[in-house]
Chain A
Amino acid sequence: MMPFGLSDAQRRYRQECREFVDREIVPRADEYDAEERFPADLIAKMGARGYLNAVPDDEADGGCRDAISFGLLCEELGRGCASARTLVTVHNMSLVALHRWGGEVVRRDWIHRLGAGELIAAFALSEPDAGSDASSLATTAVRDGTMYALNGCKKWISFGQIADVFLLFARLDGHVSAFLVERTTPGLEIRPIQRLSGCRASMAAELRLIDCRVPLAHLVGPPGTGWQYVAATALDNGRYSVAWGCVGLAQACLEAALAYAAARRQFGQPLGSHQLIQRLIADMVTDVEAARLLCYQAGCLRQRRDPASLLATNVAKYYCSLAGSRVAAAAVHVHGANGFTSAFPVQRHWRDAKIMEIIEGSNEIQQVMIAKAALEPADASR
């Protein structure tokens, strides 16, 4: 079903992404997930294919600078491995925000190398005591001559172990502001976070900033615009990417469940011939199709740069993350005890699915935003 239609270039791009994921990611995802380390050669290959440059381009048709094609890329990556999709998410959400709101120096010195995949960016907002409640952000920035001195702690920073630069948020004169922080900055200490339940190859880190000094030109956007504009831009892109990634994760689980239900026999018949299994399959198919349609809707609005795209992206992320969890759980169930072992990728997808309900704004935050918008009378901007 494809009511939104794809251009020929978008179809070709989806096929290219699909072949890349099948060749480069699917065969090794379980192995590097177990090692809790994302392969450097895979990052290089993804960079070479342009997956690390999703800065929107109105002229693009196909390639990841067109919103729909970027979504298709995220779906295909999500079908292979949530950690691979996470790399594309956190890098691009930071890059898009830096490109949009960075000053002359940031744009001149960083954007090209980030877009080329020579450097990796990560998004550093969450703190030990500030997750969904961004108003509790405690990291501070103080101007000292030609530098800002940053102090505080960031936590759960995906790909923080290897990122070259961070889009990092701190309070400047009490107001949330955004900064570009280089990995090599004295005073920045990076500690790996290991033994996560899901997205084990996403190389999460905790960042400690002790009198970490960055140039004035590394302030991204004017003072005090970090939350409403810079983080909002990044999170909107992140939610869009995660939503599509959940569609891919769910698609992988559906395909695995269908294959298993056809091959596995119980009571003298294939599993798929039992009606209670058919019920699970029916719900999985419906969830995958509904999730994908919400992503297409958000993507079409994004391509038109429509203000309604923001809320549509919240709705897509909220629904797709829940659908991903439901479909992954059902796939494990169809596999029975086998689904609970490392011999089948559905267990990895099932572990990875849960975190999608939490990242880029927990689903409770999405629910509040969606409900508040719905409680307002009809919005003519839609």
Chain B
Amino acid sequence: MATEGVKATIDRFLANRLKVQLGEDDPIFESGRVNSLFAMQLVLFIEKEFGLSIDSDDLEMKNFESIASIVRLVAQKQGRA
């Protein structure tokens, strides 16, 4: 999936899940709409949607802090970065 498609997919998940339209660099975990299930829901979503496996080395806040950072993580895991 091209970068724009990845971004749109993540955008849609977050808009549906958090009920707020986030900008590309807005901090997701500081949106005030994240509950205790969200972190793992986001991991499962990324894995299922993009056919990836998120492992321990990926669990850095810089990989999940914004839409842009998730797009970068997906590209890196898909070998496109």
- Which A residues are within 8 Å of any B CB, using their own CB? 100-103, 220-222, 225, 228-229, 232-233, 236, 304-307, 309-311, 314, 369, 372-373, 376-377, 379-381
- Nearest CB of chain B from residue A147's CB, rounded to whole Å: 19
Q: Is B59 a contact of A222 with CB atoms below 8 Å?
A: yes
A221, A306, A369: the one contacting B44 at CB < 8 Å is A306
A100, A103, A377: the one contacting B19 at CB < 8 Å is A377
Q: Knowing A222-B60, A310-B37, A369-B37 touch, does A229 contact B13 (C-beta < 8 A)?
A: no
Which residues of the partner chain A approach B47 to less than 8 Å between Cβ atoms? Answer: 305
Q: Knowing A307-B41, A310-B40, A380-B16 touch, does A373 contact B35 (C-beta < 8 A)?
A: yes
Which residues of the partner chain A approach B39 to less than 8 Å between Cβ atoms? Answer: 228-229, 232
Q: Is B59 a contact of A232 with CB atoms below 8 Å?
A: no
Which residues of the partner chain A approach B22 to less than 8 Å between Cβ atoms? Answer: none
Q: Is A228 a contact of B36 with CB atoms below 8 Å?
A: yes
Q: Is B41 a contact of A381 with CB atoms below 8 Å?
A: yes
Q: Is A307 a contact of B48 with CB atoms below 8 Å?
A: yes
What 7 additional pairs, Cβ within 8 angstroms, besides A222-B56, A229-B40, A369-B35?
Answer: A228-B36, A229-B43, A229-B59, A305-B44, A310-B41, A379-B17, A380-B12
Q: Is A306 a contact of B60 with CB atoms below 8 Å?
A: no
Interface residues of B in 1-20 (CB under 8 A from A): 12-13, 16-17, 19
Which residues of the partner chain B approach A103 to less than 8 Å between Cβ atoms? Answer: 56
Interface residues of B in 39-81 (CB under 8 A from A): 39-45, 47-48, 55-56, 59-60
Q: How far is A309 from B44 in the complex, measured between Cα atoms in Å? A: 9
21 contacts between A and B (CB under 8 A): A100-B56, A101-B55, A101-B56, A228-B36, A232-B37, A232-B39, A232-B40, A305-B47, A307-B41, A307-B42, A307-B44, A307-B48, A309-B44, A310-B40, A314-B37, A369-B35, A369-B37, A373-B35, A379-B16, A380-B12, A381-B17
Which residues of the partner chain B approach A220 to less than 8 Å between Cβ atoms? Answer: 56
Which residues of the partner chain B approach A100 to less than 8 Å between Cβ atoms? Answer: 55-56
Q: How far is A229 from B47 in the complex, measured between Cα atoms in Å? A: 14
Interface size on B, residues (CB 8 A): 21
Which residues of the partner chain A approach B35 to less than 8 Å between Cβ atoms? Answer: 369, 372-373
A306, A369, A376, A381: the one contacting B36 at CB < 8 Å is A369
Which residues of the partner chain B approach A314 to less than 8 Å between Cβ atoms? Answer: 37
A301: nearest chain-B partner, CB-CB:
B44
- Nearest CB of chain A from residue B70's CB, rounded to whole Å: 14
Which residues of the partner chain B approach A310 to less than 8 Å between Cβ atoms? Answer: 37, 40-41, 44
Q: 10 nearest interchain CB pairs?
A: A380-B16, A228-B39, A307-B41, A307-B44, A307-B45, A232-B40, A310-B37, A225-B59, A101-B56, A305-B48
B19, B43, B48, B59: the one contacting A306 at CB < 8 Å is B48
- Nearest CB of chain B from residue A218's CB, rounded to whole Å: 13
Q: Is B40 a contact of A233 with CB atoms below 8 Å?
A: yes
Q: How far is A381 from B19 in the complex, measured between Cα atoms in Å? A: 12
Q: How far is A228 from B42 in the complex, measured between Cα atoms in Å? A: 11
- Nearest CB of chain A from residue B36's CB, rounded to whole Å: 7
Which residues of the partner chain B approach A232 to less than 8 Å between Cβ atoms? Answer: 36-37, 39-40
Q: How far is A102 from B55 in the complex, measured between Cα atoms in Å? A: 9
